[in-house]
Amino acid sequence: MILPATLLLAEAADFTVVDVIHEYVSFIAIFFIVGAAAFYFLLLRPSFGHNSDAMRVASRSAARIGIVGALLRLLTIGMSVSSTMTEKQISLADALTRSPGMIAGEIVTLVALIAFAAAASAWRDAIAMWVLAAVATLVIAFRGAFSRGLELDALINPVHVFAASMWIGTLFVMVVAGIATAMSGVFATSDRGPAVATMVNRFSTLALWSAGVLVLSGVTTAWKHLGAFSALWTSAYGETLLVKLCLVATVFSLGAYNNKRLMPTLGTEEAALRLNRSAKWEIGVAAIVLVVTAVLVNLPAPAEHMAH
């Protein structure tokens, strides 16, 4: 249902499905990069620090996700350069000269890629590489705001994406690298439930703060782009935003269910498996939210028409 709707909107507006795919891959890239770094420093080390084998396995798994994120980001930068070359009918060198920000983005992303790759290997000083990856992650997430002098308007969107990445990106890495490791042979059977409980409790605090920032920045962005409340039902942008809000409400509901109903039962392997299944549903709906968001950012904002 989403793809046909995307095709119809693309025909009505000035964008293509390729533009939507580009935005979607960009979102996935930043979610993976931020999620990997946040998982390592905020969840993994405090939860698995007493088990060196679990630390090593989960750290490498998280770093591999970071590698995928960095590669996807390099892909999107390459797509942007290619698009500029096609539109302007210019060479690669000219395209890069006209877009110095892309060169900087490539360099920082390469630094993140190298750091994640080193952390994923058997290199002994992994913590140093994770610190480097975290610094590169922050630069990647807020590079656009830095280039504009940290103006409030320039910060809103990066903060919104960063908050979403801290929530859903970290949740994804926690499921794939954290819970999967805890439920494997590196933990004794009796220790698996408590290990997951410690990690999920820490994630819950992170998710609550991230969700709060996500709502505040999202409301600010929506109002800025809508211009008027009536645009919610009188424009393609507003109608698409309503679809996104319904899906976001579903993600919030799943998160609330996990927090209120499943978290209090944690402590056993069975309870950890139940929460793991529910978390995958939360991630699945969030992936659909990203599709709608990729369409949304390509639609003309009603406020722009009012300004003209």
Tokens of 44: 């993994």
CA distance 88 to 90: 5
210 within a domain of the structure (yes/no): yes
Tell me the pLDDT of the chain averaged across its residues: 85
* C-alpha–C-alpha distance, residues 261 and 254, integer Å: 10
pLDDT at 112 over 90: yes
Phi, psi of 185 (to 5 degrees): -75, -5
| pLDDT per position as a tens digit, 206-219 | 999 999 999 999 99
Q: Which domain holds residue 33?
A: 2-303
Give the per-residue pLDDT at 264: 86
Q: Which of 5-9, 117-121, 181-185, 274-278 has the lowest mean pLDDT?
A: 5-9
Give the pLDDT band of residue 265 (cuts 50, 70, 90).
confident
Assigned domain for 274 exists: yes
- Are the C-beta atoms of residues 87 and 18 closer than 8 Å to each other? no
Its pTM stands at 0.90
Residue 235 lies in a domain: yes
In a domain, 56, yes or no: yes
Question: Residue 308 falls within a domain, yes or no?
Answer: no
Distance CA 76, CA 73 (A): 5
Q: Count how many domains the chain has.
A: 1
Q: Could you tell me if residue 65 is inside a domain?
A: yes
pLDDT at 167: 96
Burial class of residue 151, CB neighbours in 10 A (0-12, 13-18, 19+):
exposed
Checking if the pLDDT of 13 tops 70, the result is no
pLDDT, one tens digit per residue, over 168-198 is 999 999 999 999 998 887 888 888 888 889 9
Query: Does residue 14 form part of some domain?
Result: yes
Which distant-in-sequence residues (6+ apart) come within 8 Å of 27 by Cβ?
161, 290, 293, 294
